[in-house]
Chains A and B, each alone.
Chain A
């Protein structure tokens, strides 16, 4: 029940935000500000959609289960609602883990394994990187050294690498 009360509060907050943004848009003349507010409005709507979907799925599980079973879905909810994806903290130890090419080749992102790739001797975790859906990226599969490929497509875009969690180095 606590979950539902929290979702209701979040929904109310988001609706207030959306109302405020609509009011802002109707009075605004600056086109660059307009873009930002439209963007925020879009995100607010997406969040409302998400919360209403979780409410609906909770309501459905509650209807279908007997009271004694109701404790289970609450536990499952906690399991699935893991926090937003953030790069794992890079401890000095994990940064230094040595990988041979053969070891790296086992981290293909298949059958529950994480997806790792190497660039310039550093091994990065791309398991949850948005450009690596299903551990593949423009025909490349995880578990390999892509120093050449990175240089040919992303020259001067070191910022891409800076956002990836480092898991070790290639030896």
Chain B
């Protein structure tokens, strides 16, 4: 039976993510890999990514915190506050750590539009923190649309002059996980890969291929409707949402097969077009999100 897999091994996204994290768990228990420190920095954004992360299942978030990594700092989740919290952040820098950043970096007024805490009476800006922590991190993950390219924080007219993390760390290699918010599997899976095998294989925009290699359009269950030119006229229609402005054809990520909220549904499954939140340039380049006055009826020409 060696080398034979009958029936075929389960190839669903959940099964693959579970195999990855089960291996990580086993290797951590046997001591063949070590827990690493994780600093989770929240900059200029809405904290949507950390909220999304609480939905994580493979592994669940509690396991991530307790067994997979030492979470040394997180604006939202740590008990310490004020200068105590910042002190922990600075202490964590003495050891090796993986840095995960969500939110954009606000540049206006030397970063004063985004202050994450204070140290010895002086405000600590997101800009300072991103530069300081980014320079020393062993690996950097840009988590969510704002961190990868500015996202909603940098949308016009961008009053805070927000930019993606790469702009302030131009020489560092940053693994980019776009999405608004990021799917828990995209972040936790990349983290598990980092612990087990090092940096995952990425595309030319530094997105891990294991999550960002296929177009939504190519895995869309409504694809046959597109191929036959049958288009939805309103949101609840069950046919192809292309004429309403669906961005699935230009968005590279695995939503159709991975699905959200514990793998139960996703935007197109809920009869609303993809708004391209996992594309670089979201949201400005993906607008308008919905159009009704389009090309459905061709009368002349």
Contact = CB atoms under 8 A, between A and B. Distances in A.
A83 B224 CA distance: 11
Interface in B247-279: 247-250, 273
Q: How large is the interface on B (under 10, 10 to 19, 20 to 34, 35 or more residues)?
A: 35 or more
A64 interface: no
Contact of A111 (B6, B243, B245, B293): B293
A133 B249 CA distance: 8
Interface in A78-136: 80-85, 107, 109-115, 127-128, 130-131, 133-136
Interface majority SS (helix, strand, loop, mixed), chain B: loop
Nearest to A43: B223
Nearest to B5: A26
Contacts of B299: 112
A81 B288 CA distance: 28
Contacts of A46: 221, 223-224
A134 B244 contact: yes
Interface of B: 6-8, 11, 217, 219, 221, 223-230, 238, 242-250, 273, 281, 284-288, 290-291, 293-299, 301
Interface of A: 22, 25-26, 38, 42, 46-47, 49-50, 53, 80-85, 107, 109-115, 127-128, 130-131, 133-139
23 contacts: A25-B8, A46-B221, A50-B228, A81-B230, A82-B228, A83-B228, A84-B229, A85-B227, A111-B293, A112-B296, A113-B295, A114-B301, A130-B242, A130-B249, A131-B249, A133-B242, A133-B243, A133-B246, A133-B247, A134-B245, A134-B288, A134-B294, A139-B285
